[in-house]
Chain A
Amino acid sequence: MTLLGNFALWAALLFGIWGAVLAFSGRWQGRPEVALSVTRSVYAVFAACAVASIALWKGIIAHDFNIEYVWAYTSRNLPSGYLFSAFWAGQKGSLLFWAVVLSLFAALAQAMTPRRYAPLMPYVAGVTSAVTVFFVAVMLFSGANPFDRLPFTPADGRGLNPQLQNPGMMIHPPMLYLGYISITIPFAFAIAALLSKRLDTGWIHAMRRWMLVSWLFLGVGITLGMWWAYVELGWGGYWAWDPVENASLLPWLTMTAFLHSVMIQEKRGMLKRWNLSLVVGTFLLSIFGTFITRSGVIASVHSFTQSNVGYYFLAFLVVIAVASYTLLYTRWPMLEADVELESMVSREAAFLFNNLLFVGIAFSVLWGTLFPILSEAVRGTKITVGPPFFNKVNVPLGLLLLALTGIGPLIAWRKASVQNLQRQFAFPVGSGLLVTAVLVALGVRDLAPLMTWGLAGFVGGTIAQEFWRGTRARIRMYGESVPMALGRLVGRNRRRYGGYIVHLAMLVYFVAFAGMAFKVQREATLKPGESVEVKSPFGHTYTFTHVGISQFKQLNRYVSAATVEVALDGKPDGRIVSEKRQHFTINELGTEEASFEPSTEVGIRSGLREDVYIVFAGAVDGTEEAVYRFNINPLVWWVWAGGFILLFGGLITMWPGGGTPVASRRHAEAGYGVELATARAGVP
């Protein structure tokens, strides 16, 4: 299998080089057979990467521990589901996963992009092939080849890190990877537009859906990462501003900025340079993320394999940055805006400020992440900033952004009239004030959460008003029933209403994040029968009684399970079990051998209002006396709900159909009709 794998990697490398060289040489212009050869080389690279991936999977499934990668990340007693995800558990497999998915996306981009964009496609192929070649080359030439063999065959592998033995871990990394990887396609279209000097909105139409795919994968991947951190790491929260987390957030922020600013380019012909810079910057941030997670230049609690592979990424990053921005610079004069900004009180202006905020937040996160390195380089001492820094900077910026989420959809394009403003803002502002007043009456006094929830009321008002007016217009115009009018409204204007659903997701996230300001934590050492009381932020009293510890063997691990009896305001409310696990593998003598450090399985009971989160930290000197940490985490459930709403809204926005110009024009007209009707209906 390793022979086949190595052969496939070399084939991918050679096909990729062939495609990239041919594409960038420009020899395909006016010669369709050469252009065809470029396209076919993209398919060939994918075929080769697919063969290599199958070879690695076969090695893993066959327990061929002579392959170093298989030995390092699996064992005979590893549950079979995790054999599947062991593919990307380590760095070498991740690189192969990256290469195969990138080559798949590259092939799909070639196959699925409509014919009218054909003049862009060889350049797109050139960029995707060059990036794939980089990944394959890193595997082959930097000692990161997943098919390396050991000089002997161990009896069993070392097993998979228990923190990765979690169902969330089977989908969280691939989701993030898919997000990171698919950014390459929009980047390739941007470079193709620059190289071919076809700088109208054509390249944007050709790649917009790819950008949405990438944005959605990344958003869902980040949410899954929060969920994994919450249930698996046991520190009681879901976001720690760790460099690795920040690295995933950065490209997501710039992509979100792009998805807004691109609308200005499509409608008004402005911001061409800015949009190209954002696409290139987003791609660079995704490579940068890989660099900081893999190089270990910044201390992170994520213990990834660290090696010099990171520096290959740094070199790649520098080369891409210099080449892309030089190219952009040479095309600068061709990228004049068609019109100028007409008014500060316009949709354009709201989008511009939204973009500045997204990029500002991204910059502050980047700055804080890199600060240890920057301060060491400039002042000679390492200074680190942690969660307090990120919260201090990003809470005000995030609140401004949340406010703009409510303001943007209400303001007209070009120039809003006073009448337009009054009609549009009355209900949302009223709803925001009402929410704030209710919360103050209920006794909420903390400024940041109060402002967050008040603004959420305002944004919610905006979204509700948009849906209500659109639906009402359809009911009046076509006499449809409410559900049908609502369904058609969303179906015929997917981008707009899908976007509002995504706004709703953001609102839900913000509401949930603010809830964590009220979390309660208490540590206690309890003998069986002893109990401790914890007051919930909603005013209830939980009583936790330690029942006892039981020990048993399960699958590939020994488990110590501690049981707690819960009472809410004195009434019995079930039991929660949390565990300490010690994984083992079988050594040459056939005896069990502990592998890895013990891991914690948090006991969580999730509710709409709050989560009860119990960590069993261990027994006291082998007795049944247990050390616990009890957390009451408000509104956490809503973070996961936000993730589902995000997925739903994102899918609506990018649902296929309506992609051809004729159909999209018809859709646009339908949307325009609704807007007209809305305007008419709304006039007092």
Chain B
Amino acid sequence: MKPGTKFLIGAVLIVGSVGFLIAQGVKETGVFFLTPTELAAKTTSDPTFYDVGLKLGAKVVPGSIKRIAAVQQVDFLVSDGAQQYPVTYRGIVPDTFTDANDIEVIVEGRLGRDGVFHATEVFAKCGSRYEAELDKAAKA
């Protein structure tokens, strides 16, 4: 066999395993990223869509944050304007998770049959507040 052919076989093996690893990885670790409206649609059309790992992207409803510091628990409501879900999380929330208006969060976890979203991770950012202020200043 020519070395070129042998190399080609090796190359196909490497490219094949990269492809296989990616496909397996997506299948085993991929999770849905939904808005509250999409999540509500899912659970209506498929009643088994509870306790499935997913990410929910929404805004925190202002004033809804309740912190129970002694057990490091945080309860809050998230909404995209049309749908709303209560979220409960145990652990330390990031600094960017504040009571300020309009914070966007991505919560990772499961929607329980009790209708509460049990989060295992909370990511927050408040870029929008920043932008809104800039706009306000520019228009003033």
Interface segment out of the listed A170-178, A243-251, A297-305, A556-564: A297-305
- Please name the residue on chain B nearest to A620 by beta carbon: B69
Find chain B residues with CB under 8 A from A629 CB: 92
Interface of B is mostly: helix
A393 touches B25 (CB 8 A): yes
B92 touches A397 (CB 8 A): no
Find chain A residues with CB under 8 A from B26 CB: 368, 371, 383, 385, 389
Find chain A residues with CB under 8 A from B72 CB: 523, 525, 617, 627
Q: Which of A598, A627, A629 has the most CB of B within 10 A?
A: A627
A598 touches B30 (CB 8 A): no
User: B57 near A: Cβ within 8 Å?
Assistant: yes
With A615-B92, A620-B69 as known contacts, state yes or no: A392 contacts B25, CB within 8 Å. yes
B137 touches A68 (CB 8 A): yes
B21 touches A150 (CB 8 A): no
Q: Smallest CB–CB gap between B42 and chain A, Å?
A: 9
With A303-B126, A341-B4, A382-B32 as known contacts, state yes or no: A618 contacts B69, CB within 8 Å. yes
Q: Which of A363, A364, A393 has the most CB of B within 10 A?
A: A393
With A389-B30, A627-B69 as known contacts, state yes or no: A617 contacts B96, CB within 8 Å. no
User: B94 near A: Cβ within 8 Å?
Assistant: yes
Find chain A residues with CB under 8 A from B71 CB: 525
Chain A contacts with B in 281-305, Cβ cutoff 8 A: 299, 301, 303-305
Find chain B residues with CB under 8 A from A303 CB: 96, 125-127, 130
- Please name the residue on chain B nearest to A302 by beta carbon: B125
Complex: A625 Cα to B71 Cα, angstroms: 12
B125 touches A151 (CB 8 A): no
User: A621 near B: Cβ within 8 Å?
Assistant: yes
User: A637 near B: Cβ within 8 Å?
Assistant: no
Find chain B residues with CB under 8 A from A152 CB: 140
Find chain A residues with CB under 8 A from B69 CB: 525, 618-621, 625, 627
Complex: A150 Cα to B138 Cα, angstroms: 6
With A301-B125, A356-B11 as known contacts, state yes or no: A364 contacts B33, CB within 8 Å. no
B33 touches A383 (CB 8 A): yes
B25 touches A523 (CB 8 A): no
Complex: A356 Cα to B10 Cα, angstroms: 10
User: B112 near A: Cβ within 8 Å?
Assistant: no
- Please name the residue on chain A nearest to B98 by beta carbon: A597
Find chain B residues with CB under 8 A from A151 CB: 138, 140
With A235-B94, A617-B92 as known contacts, state yes or no: A525 contacts B70, CB within 8 Å. yes
Q: A305-B130, A384-B32 are in contact. List 9 more A-B contacts (CB 8 A).
A: A299-B57, A349-B10, A363-B22, A381-B32, A383-B31, A396-B21, A525-B69, A597-B98, A620-B70
A-B pairs with lowest CB-CB distance, top 7 = A360-B18, A382-B33, A620-B69, A388-B29, A617-B92, A303-B127, A303-B125
Enumerate chain A interface residues (CB-CB to B < 8 A).
68, 71-72, 150-152, 158, 234-235, 299, 301, 303-306, 340-344, 349, 352-353, 356-357, 360-361, 363-364, 367-368, 371-372, 375, 381-386, 388-390, 392-393, 396-397, 523, 525, 597-600, 615, 617-621, 625, 627, 629
A-B contact pairs, 25 of them (CB 8 A): A68-B137, A71-B137, A151-B138, A151-B140, A158-B133, A234-B94, A301-B123, A305-B131, A343-B3, A349-B10, A356-B11, A381-B32, A383-B26, A383-B31, A383-B33, A386-B31, A388-B28, A392-B25, A392-B28, A396-B17, A523-B92, A597-B98, A597-B100, A615-B92, A629-B92
